[in-house]
Amino acid sequence: MKKEKLESYLKNFMEVCQKNNIKVTPQRIEIFKELIKYNDHPTVTKVFNRIRKKFPHISFDTVNRTLQLFVEVGLAKLVEGVEDIRRYDGITSHHNHFHCVRCNRIIDIYDENLNNINIPEDLKEKLTIIDAKVIFNGFCEKCKM
């Protein structure tokens, strides 16, 4: 990730933490950086293993609770998928995903045309829809047969 983009995300991180009265600790900053650095939609375990290199005494529970807190305040999103394991996305701007059914890689898709989905009227009447996403499933370029 480019330095200026990282700085922009960190500035937003600080603002959101301040607005929500969340104490900014070195561990929370590092967890956030690990979430956005590779943009690989990591699991808690993956973030935990990366963060332990810098903070060897951090607990799995701390990383898990921190990621859940980030979702609650809008610093991260849970990524939808077909697996039982929760995956996180540090990029919260609207985008869609491709999920490889073989290697479970998740790839961000930015295409304005996908944002123009018409919600059926009967759903609009029955439900309150706050977000809509398109998820493509298939084989990534590495897993194609």
- DSSP 3-state assignment of 48? helix
Report d(CA 22, CA 17) in Å as an integer.
5
Say what the pLDDT of residue 87 is.
92
Per domain, the residue ranges of the chain are 3-89, 96-138
Residue 97, beta-bridge partner list: 108, 135
The model carries a pTM of 0.84
Q: Choose which CATH entry (1.10.10.10, 3.40.720.10, 3.40.1010.10, 2.40.50.100) describes domain 3-89.
A: 1.10.10.10
> Closest by alpha carbon to 17, among 31, 34, 37, 3?
31
Say what the pLDDT of residue 83 is.
66
Please tell me what DSSP assigns to residue 116. -
Say what the pLDDT of residue 28 is.
97
Say what the pLDDT of residue 144 is.
87
Say what the pLDDT of residue 76 is.
95
Q: Which residues of the chain have pLDDT under 50?
A: none
Report d(CA 32, CA 35) in Å as an integer.
5
